[in-house]
């Protein structure tokens, strides 16, 4: 998966290469598995805005927080222009890992944007602002069946609610041991 932050952190001039040798940049979207123009739009935006900033800005002038506030303004413009764009920057990120010493699975929750509150449940109910608020890595309870996570900003839900079975979480954790 290529998150917006991944696109923004791309460095077009490899270490040790003279920048004068770089003539330009490009960002391809391979469309053999993109069935419609609307899907191509969704796959392009906001990654295209990130790529443009990376290619047109000095490395020392890049600022993720300033960029994401501009992206949210671009969302308004795209909405007005009826452009299909991805808002996955608002979605929660679930990173499970296995504690090899205790043989337990833990989960770290994250988001690409600052200023978000994250709420979660382990019982297949929707996560809302009355659910458990995430503050630190959480051990998966033995009786858990699902993890449901939702981001909130200023007391309002934002992005998609993420819902994973604990079986999926345990599978993902196998490759990440601590």
Domains of the chain: 4-86 (no CATH), 90-174 (2.60.40)
Query: Does an H or E element contain 156, and which?
Result: strand 156-165
Q: Which residues pair with 156 in a beta bridge?
A: 153
Token pair 């391979």 is at which residue? 30
The CA-based angle 137-143-145, given to 5 degrees, is: 80
Which tokens belong to 74?
């671009």
| Alpha-carbon distance values, 16 to 12, 19, 67, 109 (Å) | 12, 9, 27, 36
Instruction: List the chain pLDDT tens, one digit each, 178 residues.
Output: 789 999 999 998 889 999 899 888 888 999 999 999 999 999 999 999 999 999 999 889 999 999 999 999 999 999 999 999 999 999 999 999 998 788 899 999 999 999 999 999 999 999 999 999 999 999 999 999 999 999 999 999 999 999 999 999 999 998 888 8
Output phi, psi for 143, to 5 deg. -90, 5
């Amino acid at each position: 998966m290529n998150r917006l932050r991944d696109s923004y952190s791309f460095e077009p001039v490899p270490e040790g290469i003279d920048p004068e040798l770089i003539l330009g940049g490009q960002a391809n979207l391979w469309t053999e598995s993109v069935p419609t123009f609307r899907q191509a739009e969704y796959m392009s935006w906001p990654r295209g805005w990130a790529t443009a900033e990376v290619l047109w800005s000095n490395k020392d002038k890049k600022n993720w927080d300033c960029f994401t506030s501009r992206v949210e303004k671009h969302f308004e413009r795209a909405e007005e222009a009826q452009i299909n764009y991805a808002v996955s920057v608002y979605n929660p990120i679930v990173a499970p890992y296995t504690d090899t010493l205790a043989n337990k699975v833990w989960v770290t929750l994250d988001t690409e944007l600052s200023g978000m509150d994250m709420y979660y449940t382990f019982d297949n109910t929707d996560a809302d602002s009355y659910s458990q608020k995430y503050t630190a890595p959480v051990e998966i309870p033995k009786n858990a069946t699902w993890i449901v996570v939702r981001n909130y900003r200023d007391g309002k839900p934002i992005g998609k609610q993420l819902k994973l079975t604990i079986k999926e979480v345990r599978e993902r954790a196998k490759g990440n041991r601590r």
